[in-house]
Amino acid sequence: MNNSAVRNGDGKLHEAGCGVWDVPDASDVEFIIDAGFGDEAIAGYLAHARPVYDTLNRVLAQLSGVLLLAMTSGKSDLALDHDVYRIALERLSEAHERQRALKAPASAARHHAVLADIVVRLEAAAKDMDALSAILGRDAREAHMRKIIIKLHGAQRLLVATAQPDANITPVDFSHACCTCSVSGKTSSEKII
Amino acid sequence: MADYSIYVLEYCYVPKYHKSGVLYGAHNEGYVKLPYCYVLIRSKDHVALVDVGYNDKDYGKFLGDKFGVENWRSPKVVLAELGLTPEDVDTVFITHAHFDHFGNVEDFPNATFYIQRDEIEKWVWAMSLPERLRWMMIAVDPGDILRGVNLAAQGRLNVVEGSLEDVLPGVDVHLARDSHTFGSMWVTVRNDGKADSQDTWVLAGDLVYQFTNLKNDGSVVGVDTMYTPVGLAVGSQMNLLLATEEMMKQAGYDDTRVIPIHEEGLADRFPSRITKENLRISEICLADGTSSVVA
């Protein structure tokens, strides 16, 4: 492995937002058809929806994580880790663009609409988080925090509702978890979303 | 004098798990049963758990269908075997953020939780990386991180940095950085309460899956036995082995006092029984004046 691909001149790992990590996406329509989604239009939609879903899922994790770290830092101003927060915002903006560009067949219109709703909720939560450190007074800050948590929970519930595990659209990557003895992922009945 | 009773409580299992997942390098050596468990630590003053399992309603069917996870039972059912309810639990130690250890915090409304800062910080960093580095994010549910936010908002989450002694009297936590996960933690119970305890139990989380990780055939390198790491390390096998050495040292190099939770053979080493739900309870030790729940 060429260390220069992942480390800078000081030998430190590149920041997560650094351009060295960028590569094009790949889609996997055939895999999704094999998993039981016989309709090519749906399979094509899911193949392109997956990176959008994954990004939204990770933005949720990033925002939650940044919030969690701020809340447990012991600092009273709840200052966010701005590097991670900025990356989350960039990814969210990117996911928004890709979600808008997704072409959904009629049978996937609801799924597509829910993805849009997740984007809206995450954007609203992120905006509220940005304002957090400027809010004075413990009670006001706690009330503001509750609003953020409600929005993040709304997004998380929708992520669970739009999961399609057999198309690898899932909030959790189980591929190397303690449970991965892979009984069988295939099924013969055609799936719908 | 023993202050705590300790029990390993099975809450589901995988009947056939690749042995190579349990034991690093054990390729083509077949399958073993992999129980999923949490550990109950109980004294007259406290009811504590090491890990909380996962909530079947979130991904149970998927796990069952795709990965063969069977016979999941809720903490309410599992703890009832010891006459307890989830509401009785006052302290929870989360050894790491994998869904099967951290995925059910909502079932314990009265507990205060402990997790390592490294575990949260580095997962957040990993979540920022591109898709092709997704391997570092395996088995973590963003929903669990969000539920951690809820705990923090309620003042019920303590983020620990490194070792912390006497979290409960005689109960310590320790960090195994960059090992099984970014910030895995183990729990040490000094059951006589002494700093130089002669009655120490080490609850290893996933730093050790089974007995073979502590005592494996070492003939390949010319020794009788050797530590062999678990099959999954987001950090390094070296750090897993160094953590194993630390745990063994704390236990006076008595490997029967380092408790792996994914070990079916606990039933052969400790008094155990199978419940009516077909799940195992292993009784690791009993506090003074306490009766067995498995006899």
Q: Please determine, for residue A48, whether its predicted confidence score (pLDDT) is greater than 70.
A: yes
pLDDT at A113: 96
CB B113 within 8 A of CB B150: no
The reply to whether residue A181 touches residue B21, judged by beta carbons under 8 angstroms, is yes
CA distances from A43 to A33, A116, B269 (A): 6, 19, 51
**Which residues, other chains included, contact B249 with Cβ-Cβ below 8 Å and sequence gap of 6+?**
none
pLDDT at A78: 62
Q: Is A68 on the interface with B (CB under 8 A)?
A: yes
CB B187 within 8 A of CB B281: no
Token pair of B64 as six digits: 């069952």
CA distances from B4 to A21, B34, B116, B277 (A): 50, 26, 24, 26
Strands (E), B71-163: 91-93, 112-116, 157-160
Q: Which residues in chain B are closer than 8 Å to A61, comparing Cβ atoms?
A: 123-124, 127, 140, 142, 145
Burial of B130 (0-12, 13-18, 19+ CB in 10 A): middle
pLDDT at B140: 80
Substitution target in B62, B101, B145, B264 with the highest count of A β-carbons within 10 Å is: B145
Q: Please determine, for residue B82, whether its predicted confidence score (pLDDT) is greater than 80.
A: yes
Task: Give bridge partners of residue B200 from the DSSP assignment.
Answer: B190
Q: Please determine, for residue B239, whether its predicted confidence score (pLDDT) is greater than 80.
A: yes
Task: Give bridge partners of residue B174 from the DSSP assignment.
Answer: B186
Residue pointed to by tokens 């719908």: A192
The DSSP 8-state label assigned to residue A15 in this structure reads: P
Amino acid at A88: A
Q: Tally the C-alpha atoms within 13 A of residue A131's C-alpha that lie toward its C-beta.
A: 15
Q: Please determine, for residue A49, whether its predicted confidence score (pLDDT) is greater than 60.
A: yes
pLDDT at A11: 74
From the list A84, A156, A179, the residue facing B100 with the nearest CB is A179
Q: Please determine, for residue A4, whether its predicted confidence score (pLDDT) is greater than 80.
A: no
Q: Tens digits of per-residue pLDDT, B109-155?
A: 999 999 999 999 898 888 888 778 878 877 888 888 899 999 999 99
Q: Within 10 A of B136 (CB to CB), how many other CB atoms are there?
A: 17
Q: What is the value of ipTM here, to two decimals?
A: 0.82
Residue predicted with more confidence, A182 or A150: A150
Confidence band of A121 (pLDDT split at 50, 70, 90): very high
DSSP annotation string for B253-280: T-GGGEE-TT-TTHHHHS-EEE-TTS-E
Q: Please determine, for residue B35, whether its predicted confidence score (pLDDT) is greater than 90.
A: yes
**Candidate from A42-51, A60-69, A74-83, B144-153 with smallest mean pLDDT:** A74-83
Amino acid at B238: M
Substitution target in A128, A160, A178, A186 with the highest count of B β-carbons within 10 Å is: A178
pTM assigned to the model: 0.86
Token pair of A104 as six digits: 């959904």
From the list A66, A81, A182, the residue facing B66 with the nearest CB is A182
B73–chain A nearest CA distance, Å: 16
Interface subset of B 196-235, CB within 8 angstroms of A: 206, 232
Interface subset of B 157-186, CB within 8 angstroms of A: 157-159
CB B208 within 8 A of CB B242: no
CB B41 within 8 A of CB B261: no
CB B229 within 8 A of CB B281: no
